């Protein structure tokens, strides 16, 4: 597989991962703190299903293709790449945290979502912008 094709697939998988993560973050931020309406409960179930079937596999693919492209392109151990990997790891961890919270909220209808979830979408966007900047500018 050519390097450019690998990069194209990596970018495509990234889009699917980030858009799914953003949708999950925004959904969780909108959940009522007391009780769930039937519509909210259905939305939570649908988001968790999408996360398991689409967003998480896209994340694994994005990371696998990214690491392979970096290895094929001979980018190791450039500083920008190491920072990018650290940020991708942090985003994967954040994905796990949101996924876990979604499971808790779905299992317990009376559980209030953490208040910091209001910033979750901003966090995803900020990390994504940093990842894009590092990939395009390759500073250093």
Partner 1 sequence: MATETTALATEIAELDRLRWASWAEATTLLALLFVAVPLRHIYGLREATQVAGPIHGLAFLLFVLALTRAASGYGWTGGETLRALIAAFLPFGGFVNERRLRRRQAELAAKAKG
Q: Which residues bind partner 1 (CB under 8 A)?
A: 56, 59-60, 63-64, 67-68, 70-72, 76, 85, 88-89, 92-101, 103-104, 107
Q: How far is the CB of 93 from partner 1 (least distance, A)?
A: 5
DSSP 8-state class, residue 51: I
Q: Residue 24 and residue 63: Cα distance in Å, rounded?
A: 19
**Rounded to 5, what percent of the chain is helix, strand, coil?**
80, 0, 20
Nearest distance, CB of residue 76 and partner 1, angstroms: 7
Work out how close the CB of 53 gets to partner 1 at its nearest, in angstroms, rounded to a whole number: 15
Pick the closer one to partner 1 by CB: 63 or 121.
63
Tokens of 26: 């925004």
């Amino acid at each position: 597989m050519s390097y450019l094709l690998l990069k194209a697939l990596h970018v495509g998988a990234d889009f699917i991962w980030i858009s799914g993560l953003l949708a999950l973050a925004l959904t969780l931020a909108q959940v009522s703190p007391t009780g769930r309406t039937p519509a909210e409960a259905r939305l939570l179930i649908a988001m968790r299903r999408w996360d398991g079937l689409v967003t998480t596999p896209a994340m694994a693919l994005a990371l696998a293709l990214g690491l392979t492209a970096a290895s094929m392109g001979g980018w190791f151990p450039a500083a920008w790449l190491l920072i990018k990997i650290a940020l991708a790891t942090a985003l994967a961890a954040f994905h796990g945290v949101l996924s876990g919270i979604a499971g808790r909220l779905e299992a317990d209808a009376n559980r209030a979502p953490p208040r910091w979830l209001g910033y979750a979408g901003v966090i995803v966007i900020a990390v994504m912008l940093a990842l894009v900047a590092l990939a395009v500018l390759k500073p250093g």
